A = this chain, B = another copy of it.
Amino acid sequence: MVLNTNRVEHLGGNERNIAIYNSTGSEDSEAMSPPSSVMVVTSSSPRQVHQVVLPPFRTTLQKLRLRLSEIFFPDAPLDRFKNQSWGNRFFLGLQFFFPIFVWAPNYNLKLLQSDVVSGLTIASLAIPQGISYAKLANLPPIVGLYSSFVPPLIYSVLGSSRHLAVGPVSIASLVMGTMLNDRVSYTDQPSLYLQLAFTATFFAGVFQAALGLLRLGFVIDFLSKATLVGFMAGAAIIVSLQQLKGLLGIVHFTNKMQIVPVLTSVFQRTDEWSWQTIVMGASFLIFLLTARKVSMRNKKLFWVSAAAPLTSVILSTLIVFIFKSKLHMISIIGHLPKGLNPPSANMLHFDSSYLGLVVNTGIVTGILSLTEGIAVGRTFASLKNYQVDGNQEMMAIGFMNMAGSCSSCYVTTGSFSRSAVNYNAGAQTTVSNIIMSATVLITLLFLMPLFHYTPNVILGAIIITAVIGLIDYEAALRLWKVDKLDFLTCLCSFFGVLFISVPLGLGIAVGVSVFKILLHVTRPNTAALGNIPGTHIYQNIHRYKEARRIPSFLIVAIEAPMYFANTTYVQERLLRWIREEEEWITTNDESTLKCVILDMTAVTAIDTSGIDTICEIKKVLEKRSLQFVLANPAGNVMEKMHNSGALESFGLNGLYLSVSEAVDDISATWKCQP
């Protein structure tokens, strides 16, 4: 068909543009009829529309490969190796597995200067926090220092984040402490408990490295932000309540973690409260919280909160040491062994009776520490505009934990608070982690006796100050404002953690998140569309007041893939749209409905049930003498309909590239065949 079109355009007030063009034949040229407000019927021939085509043919194997590469290699990590010499490829590969080779060649004295300053700063924070978090995990305090020595060294070679400060963190410590202590009491069987902790760390590392190697990094995406906000707030409250033991000086305290037994324990043991401990704890807590506040007000004063914990430790240790005869009721850390991390590979405990426990603990703490480490790494990477590869980070953190488990370390990852201090102190590369390790090394070798008189109460105050920042009520408020179901997820994980248990609370929250996705698929939005006058655009008539119904047409958009889970709903809802439209036509005395157009733009996938439903709808509507056409079906939808033979029943006249073409073409047909 040869279509010869001349068009003269006149636009604007004082301006005049004239364009005349010829286009010969074929569907590629001007084929769309003008805007409906002009209603110039283009020609007598009904088919000047563009054909909907199938996507390029691919074999099942090709499709599988494409699909798998999208699942596992969305970032196309091998792209960088293309068109490179073998030497270069080797070097790029080395850089890929050991990111240290990316920046080491250009490392200079100026960078070192920044890294030394930031490294020393985080060390001053890492030492007291390391001791405190180890206590949170019910481990000997020295393990917290061991864990601040080996893992940072390994991360500095393998990790791709330049600002991550590695070491023990509160959440993972808490979870490990709870899960292990549920089965094995740390007071009754301390050496078994320690063995299990190292073994769980080993499994956490194996699990993390496996996720990274198998490129399954996306599993941590299922912990949505809403889940994490609720979880962290709940965990922070639990951790803080646990510290009441130290802050009040209670000796006999529950081993449980939930809010009810802890509070019961606190108020049943008022006889054990010690006023000296309470006064000391409260003073230092106020000092630490004030320092935190100062740093939050002014980012340049970050060093105030960074130095406060070590200052508190030194001050409180001095006080206790000087008044040791009068303050004997304040419990102190006591003797800490001098020396480097002892090897612990022989302590890994693969006995079948505890295997389930350690594997479970390893997986849960592994996922949690990955989530924290990767989120922190990404946050600072985006501030400095570089990329952190999730799968690679998983491998780095995984290997670091595996190595840690053989050198008396428990689960470590990137800590949010210390990384923020690291960033603010001007860290440039992971050398700051090496500096921190070196500082811890010196502490381990020479300074351990100094901690003998450090009171436990100060550790509680440090922990509370660290975790209080995890309660992000503003984020929760924003969730409520933006998305009520997200807020519900947040509440579920919050209360789940507070009242049930950490893994179960997380499980419930993930369940609610997944349920939300399924709900959206099960009950997709549908909308009747109308034309925006003067354009080819069709929009929801309930949202755009100017959108006008097209007489005799009902245009419905389905806003979700068509799956088994929603086909019944889609069919019922579409029939209801038609019923309502017919009622509207009767009351408004409009021209009768003749054609239903299904806008498939947002139907991004379909399964066999969906295809059956479309065929079913077509059959039902044809029995009622209604034309039924599809607009803009997606590539894979077309392909599946073709494979199932459903396309044949639609033929050329049932598929259009856009709603606008469908409306124009079908109205033209009606005019030709009155």
A residues apposed to B, CB below 8 Å? 2-13, 15, 17, 19, 21, 23, 28-32, 34-35, 37-44, 50, 53-56, 60, 64, 67, 70-71, 74-76, 79, 218, 221-227, 382, 385, 390, 478-479, 481-484, 486, 513-514, 516-525, 532-537, 539-540, 542-544, 546, 559-561, 563-569, 572-573, 576, 579, 601-602, 604-605, 607-609, 611-612, 616, 619-620, 623, 634-636, 640, 643-644, 657-658, 660-661
**Given that A10-B6, A17-B41, A518-B517 are known contacts, is A385 also in contact with B35, CB under 8 Å in the complex?**
no
Q: Which 9 A-B pairs have the closest CB atoms?
A: A224-B564, A559-B604, A30-B534, A8-B8, A12-B43, A6-B10, A602-B602, A17-B40, A482-B644
How far in angstroms is the closest Cβ of chain B from A375?
10
* Nearest B residue to A563, CB-CB: B517
Task: Return the contact of A565 from the options B382, B517, B568 (Cβ within 8 A).
Answer: B517
Asked if A567 and B9 make an inter-chain contact with CB atoms under 8 angstroms apart, the answer reads no
Asked if A75 and B560 make an inter-chain contact with CB atoms under 8 angstroms apart, the answer reads no
**Given that A482-B611, A482-B643 are known contacts, is A10 also in contact with B19, CB under 8 Å in the complex?**
no
CB-defined contacts of A561 to chain B, threshold 8 Å: 517, 520
Asked if B7 and A19 make an inter-chain contact with CB atoms under 8 angstroms apart, the answer reads no
**Given that A32-B534, A385-B623, A543-B53 are known contacts, is A19 also in contact with B38, CB under 8 Å in the complex?**
yes
Measured in the bound complex, the distance between the Cα atoms of B5 and A640 in whole Å is 45
Asked if A50 and B537 make an inter-chain contact with CB atoms under 8 angstroms apart, the answer reads yes
User: Could you list 19 further interchain pairs (A-B, Cβ under 8 angstroms) beyond the known A50-B532, A525-B636?
Assistant: A6-B10, A6-B11, A7-B9, A7-B10, A8-B10, A28-B533, A32-B537, A56-B542, A56-B543, A70-B523, A74-B523, A74-B572, A75-B572, A223-B564, A224-B607, A226-B607, A385-B620, A483-B608, A525-B604
Asked if A640 and B560 make an inter-chain contact with CB atoms under 8 angstroms apart, the answer reads no
Measured in the bound complex, the distance between the Cα atoms of B38 and A29 in whole Å is 11
Asked if A10 and B5 make an inter-chain contact with CB atoms under 8 angstroms apart, the answer reads yes
How many monomers of this protein are in the complex? 2
Task: Return the contact of A566 from the options B10, B221, B604 (Cβ within 8 A).
Answer: B221
CB-defined contacts of A604 to chain B, threshold 8 Å: 520, 524-525, 559-560, 602
Measured in the bound complex, the distance between the Cα atoms of B5 and A534 in whole Å is 11
Task: Return the contact of A609 from the options B74, B75, B224, B518 (Cβ within 8 A).
Answer: B224
**Given that A10-B7, A15-B43, A608-B479 are known contacts, is A635 also in contact with B540, CB under 8 Å in the complex?**
yes
CB-defined contacts of A573 to chain B, threshold 8 Å: 74
CB-defined contacts of A221 to chain B, threshold 8 Å: 522, 564-569
Asked if A564 and B37 make an inter-chain contact with CB atoms under 8 angstroms apart, the answer reads no
How far in angstroms is the closest Cβ of chain B from A536?
5
How far in angstroms is the closest Cβ of chain B from A380?
13
How far in angstroms is the closest Cβ of chain B from A65?
13
How far in angstroms is the closest Cβ of chain B from A571?
10
How far in angstroms is the closest Cβ of chain B from A489?
9
CB-defined contacts of A661 to chain B, threshold 8 Å: 535, 537
How far in angstroms is the closest Cβ of chain B from A13?
5
Measured in the bound complex, the distance between the Cα atoms of B482 and A560 in whole Å is 19
CB-defined contacts of A15 to chain B, threshold 8 Å: 43-44
Task: Return the contact of A382 from the options B19, B533, B620 (Cβ within 8 A).
Answer: B620
* Nearest B residue to A45, CB-CB: B12
Asked if A542 and B55 make an inter-chain contact with CB atoms under 8 angstroms apart, the answer reads yes
Measured in the bound complex, the distance between the Cα atoms of B28 and A50 in whole Å is 27
CB-defined contacts of A611 to chain B, threshold 8 Å: 482
Asked if A222 and B10 make an inter-chain contact with CB atoms under 8 angstroms apart, the answer reads no
Asked if B657 and A532 make an inter-chain contact with CB atoms under 8 angstroms apart, the answer reads yes
Asked if B226 and A635 make an inter-chain contact with CB atoms under 8 angstroms apart, the answer reads no
Asked if B620 and A559 make an inter-chain contact with CB atoms under 8 angstroms apart, the answer reads no
CB-defined contacts of A34 to chain B, threshold 8 Å: 7, 9, 19
**Given that A76-B576, A640-B483 are known contacts, is A565 also in contact with B222, CB under 8 Å in the complex?**
yes
Task: Return the contact of A74 from the options B74, B390, B546, B569 (Cβ within 8 A).
Answer: B569
Asked if A534 and B620 make an inter-chain contact with CB atoms under 8 angstroms apart, the answer reads no
Asked if B5 and A568 make an inter-chain contact with CB atoms under 8 angstroms apart, the answer reads no
Asked if B607 and A564 make an inter-chain contact with CB atoms under 8 angstroms apart, the answer reads no
Asked if A13 and B2 make an inter-chain contact with CB atoms under 8 angstroms apart, the answer reads yes
Asked if B12 and A42 make an inter-chain contact with CB atoms under 8 angstroms apart, the answer reads yes
How far in angstroms is the closest Cβ of chain B from A10?
4
Asked if B534 and A43 make an inter-chain contact with CB atoms under 8 angstroms apart, the answer reads no
Give 7 A-B contacts (CB < 8 Å), ordered by A residue: A7-B10, A50-B532, A60-B484, A226-B564, A226-B608, A536-B536, A602-B602
CB-defined contacts of A534 to chain B, threshold 8 Å: 23, 28-32
Asked if A225 and B608 make an inter-chain contact with CB atoms under 8 angstroms apart, the answer reads yes
* Nearest B residue to A599, CB-CB: B601
Interface centre among A34, A564, A635 (most CB of B within 10 A): A564
CB-defined contacts of A75 to chain B, threshold 8 Å: 572, 576
CB-defined contacts of A224 to chain B, threshold 8 Å: 563-565, 607, 609
* Nearest B residue to A612, CB-CB: B225
Asked if A32 and B608 make an inter-chain contact with CB atoms under 8 angstroms apart, the answer reads no
Interface centre among A60, A70, A559, A608 (most CB of B within 10 A): A608
CB-defined contacts of A64 to chain B, threshold 8 Å: 484
How far in angstroms is the closest Cβ of chain B from A645?
9
Task: Return the contact of A564 from the options B9, B222, B657 (Cβ within 8 A).
Answer: B222
CB-defined contacts of A609 to chain B, threshold 8 Å: 224-226
* Nearest B residue to A570, CB-CB: B74
Measured in the bound complex, the distance between the Cα atoms of B35 and A440 in whole Å is 68
Measured in the bound complex, the distance between the Cα atoms of B44 and A544 in whole Å is 27
Measured in the bound complex, the distance between the Cα atoms of B34 and A620 in whole Å is 39
Task: Return the contact of A520 from the options B55, B605, B644 (Cβ within 8 A).
Answer: B605
Measured in the bound complex, the distance between the Cα atoms of B40 and A2 in whole Å is 23
Asked if B28 and A537 make an inter-chain contact with CB atoms under 8 angstroms apart, the answer reads no
Measured in the bound complex, the distance between the Cα atoms of B15 and A38 in whole Å is 16
How far in angstroms is the closest Cβ of chain B from A579?
8
* Nearest B residue to A546, CB-CB: B28
CB-defined contacts of A525 to chain B, threshold 8 Å: 604, 634, 636
* Nearest B residue to A63, CB-CB: B484
Asked if B523 and A517 make an inter-chain contact with CB atoms under 8 angstroms apart, the answer reads no
Measured in the bound complex, the distance between the Cα atoms of B226 and A10 in whole Å is 58
How far in angstroms is the closest Cβ of chain B from A183?
26
CB-defined contacts of A517 to chain B, threshold 8 Å: 517-518, 521, 561, 563, 565
